[in-house]
Structure 1
Amino acid sequence: MILTTGGAGFIGSNFVLDWFTASDESMVNLDKLTYAGNMENLAGLRDQPKHIFVKGDIGDVGLVRRLLEQHKPRAVVNFAAESHVDRSIHGPGEFIQTNIVGTFHLLEAVREYWNGLPEQDKAAFRFLHVSTDEVYGSLGKDDPAFRETNRYEPNSPYSASKAASDHLVRAYHHTYGLPVLTTNCSNNYGPYHFPEKLIPLCIQNALGGKPLPIYGDGQQIRDWLYVKDHCSAIRRVLEAGTVGEVYNVGGWNEKANLEVVGTLCDILDDLSPRADGQSYRTQITFVTDRPGHDRRYAIDATRLERELGWKPAETFETGIRKTVRWYLDNQAWAHNVTSGAYREWVGKQYGA
């Protein structure tokens, strides 16, 4: 049995779904079901008795304690986080509360549980914390990619809150001996991505005949990681990672935002062409850049490949085509998650 937090969100739900494809081990899935948590993501597990879903907050120490004592997990995998930079700029308070205070309360409950385990179980237990490359700050055009030894230089309330959570996890290992693992991933994309992020937003806007909003000049570079590859990396780190260590997870796919959106348009032109015969590229619109927008992220995932034998299975070209196809085949899902409140937020962020 393992306990997963945030397992109804984008990356978390993909991890949960893939877990039951790759393993027959049971899982408790704790998720608060905020705007980005969606039970429709887990619809395929309705008849899976080994998937136990619990609605709740990682900051609810009493609830977490009860789940740990009842189910006796051998590991906790923590995805639970507020994760959108733009939202953190408009309202940083929720990010501080969930990503820092929530992680603290989760660590406290896990530490208490771990201390009470028999020695053999105590030695085998793992707490895996899922984090982001944004904690490292921004890279110049010719700078080497982020390695695990890069110092932390977060530039947004989101990345600062994640950096703080990473430091807490590290401290609980060095101070209390809690057997932790941390992964710092690059930009994920793929199925079940909430349509406020660049790729799903542009797919949905393109199909809806709306502008495709590109911040600034569109030359912000990200390393793109297919979410299923990320999930396989987490499973591998959980299985064989060295306690107390950090592993960067990347796709080796540096792309500028404008190039990404152009590729999306080309795939849509092929798979779902516009009725008027024009390219979706005509819908690209440049909007005012967001404050503190990091110029470039890039992950050096050499350590993960060298020590644990992991590397991504998808190239950007194969992964992005699978992603577009998934959204075309799952328009009902996309429609259901785009509530009135979400549309109001998009209007506020990108303009009418």
Structure 2
Amino acid sequence: MDLSIAGILLLDGSSNGAIYALLALAIVLVFAVTRVILVPQGEFATYGALTLAMLQLGRVPGTVWLLLALALGVSMLDGIDALRHRRSAARIASAFLQPLAVPLPVVLISLWAAAQQMPLMLQSLLTLAIVTPLGPLLYRVAYEKVADASVLVLLIVSVGVHFAMTGLGLGFFGAEGFRAPSFWDTDFRFGAVLLSGQAVIIFMVSIALMVGLWLFFERTLRGKALRATAVNRLGARLMGISTVGAGRLSFTLAAFIGALAGLLIAPTTTMAYDTGFLIGLKGFVAAIFGGLASYPGAALGALFVGLLESFGSFWASSFKEVIVFTLILPVLLWRSFKHGPDEEEE
């Protein structure tokens, strides 16, 4: 290996690490706030990439119908809860209509826009608008009623949601893989190293999102409420912070980050209905580096995972996945010896 090959591998590993960092941050965020290990985080990335691919083909993505079905289901659940508690007529009507406030306009716009062949940037924004609301709706349907259950129960629910989303992805998009066009068809050459415009966009968007998340948690009331919920759910509830609202917001951010990661990675690799699990699993490995609690640790872990995968593919391409996933074992052992067994927080 010479310096030119090392530079190419370093660049490739860093761009992949930036994608894994986004998924790792979303996994850490959701776990810190809700104690849910979000196994289907990678499916949000898959849905984002393949929804954009369907819009590129001029077809209505299946995620539009999933969004409508979930919104109608949540509308019925909230409305029945309001009726059961004998709320006023205005609150019952609000309970029925509020879950449809965002999804219904998005569905109508998507049905119109699918055949319009809009510019790539507008299609990407529409993709984010379709996939992002799936997060809070999934939380309401699958997690909200068992929010106070043990971490093991929540993990089992997450595995079930993952299999459901994977199966729906096969039905929506088929078994064929898709690749989206690049957002910036420009190349920058530095000696033997070629830096693509798409890689530049990946770095810029990832850094911008991380800075945006830092500002959100440090400077906004909702961000501070999420931090308080992450520190102590019971204490946050006693201080008037809605843990239900915090859970929905964390899933909203996770869905947005996942969809954005899917848009960024779609031009660089072929995405299929089941690709997201492997990508999300690498994000989970990175999140383990931060102990599912540290955002900087998760970001650094993601960069390390990306570099390890890139250099591992050069030296032993058949075992690159084995190398990455075996890495989690010494990290878990080190954390086990360092912290010891902890009682689960009641």
TM-score, normalising length: structure 1:
0.27
Structure 1 or 2: more helix by fraction: 2
Query: Whose strand fraction is larger, Structure 1's or Structure 2's?
Result: 1
Q: Which has the higher contact order (CA 8 A, sep 6+)?
A: 2
Q: What is the TM-score of this pair, normalised by structure 2?
A: 0.27
